[in-house]
Amino acid sequence: MTISETSEPSTPTTKSKSKSKLRRWIALGLLLVVAVGTFGLLRPILFQRGRNKILSEWQDRGVYVRRKSAGPGWLKQISPYLADLVGKISPQVTVISDLKGTFTDDDFQKLPQFPELERLKLFESKLTESAWGHIGRCRRLMILEISYVPLSKSSLQNVSNLKQVHSLLLEHTGICDDDLAPLADLSGLRSIYLHEPRITDAGLKMMQEWKSSLYEVNVRGSKVTLKAAKEFMKSKLPTFSVVHIGPEIPKPGRRPRKKVQTQ
């Protein structure tokens, strides 16, 4: 009679257990990446309906809106086709221009819903002091043009949070020399247009201390003198280009405006 020995069932080694655990973590990681990617892909589409309603209302009132059909940059690296598709379904709003003077505080609160906004133009818009607290959330804003809208030092304090702004136009907003102080924090500012009757040589002298790399200053319509302009240019050389002074040049087709009440 032959007696055969049977060995005990083999147990998984420590090495195989580690591999199995590693596979689970990899699978979990891939699942997380897919979930995050899917949410990132669908998020602009899901939120676009509400944004379209806002834009439609603005455009009905004469507000100009420019859209750019371009998908998220990170998605372009993965699939240019999907990025193009998302861009067409959910176009990015890069320019908003209120030339009819219809913008209100309520409209201003909605601006952060358009994070791609690069240029904002306001003309005779019906805004109060509290509205400017929302402007700092427009983090990609690079060009800001404000005409015949009352401003104060507090308003400009909020504007100074826009570190990426490189071009600023302030026209008949009622500000004076002292109100310019907060704008010293706009480190990226390259050109500034101050068509403001209350700005004097003192305001231009204050701007000499700004750390921004200004290359153009336009103070037509202000009380800035030629002597002050020359001193300013000398202090900013060699990077500075030009100071525009003298009477304000009327824009073609623009009717005379009422003076803005100073605050």
Decide if 44 is inside a domain.
Answer: yes
Decide if 253 is inside a domain.
Answer: no
Decide if 13 is inside a domain.
Answer: no
Residue 256, pLDDT score:
47
Residue 242, pLDDT score:
82
Which residue range forms the structural domain that includes residue 91? 25-244
Decide if 95 is inside a domain.
Answer: yes
Decide if 29 is inside a domain.
Answer: yes
Tokens (6 digits) for 193: 């247009």
**What stretches of the chain adopt beta strand conformation (E)?**
64-68, 92-98, 119-123, 143-147, 167-171, 191-195, 216-218, 242-244
Residue 87, pLDDT score:
58
Cβ atoms of 172 and 197 closer than 8 Å: yes
Cβ atoms of 152 and 127 closer than 8 Å: no
Decide if 249 is inside a domain.
Answer: no
Decide if 218 is inside a domain.
Answer: yes
Q: What is the domain-level CATH number for residue 97? A: 3.80.10.10
- The model carries a pTM of 0.74
**pLDDT tens track of the chain, all 263 residues?**
455 454 555 555 666 767 777 777 777 777 776 666 555 555 555 556 778 889 999 999 999 999 876 555 666 666 666 666 655 566 689 999 999 999 999 999 999 999 899 999 999 999 999 999 999 899 999 999 999 999 999 999 999 999 999 999 999 999 999 999 999 999 999 999 999 999 999 999 999 999 888 889 999 999 999 999 999 988 887 777 788 887 877 665 555 455 555 44
Residue 206, pLDDT score:
94
User: Running DSSP on this structure, what letter comes out for residue 97?
Assistant: E
Closest among 113, 129, 111, 130 to 121, alpha carbons compared: 111
* Sign of the four-CA dihedral 97, 102, 105, 109: negative
Decide if 17 is inside a domain.
Answer: no
Q: How many domains does the chain have?
A: 1
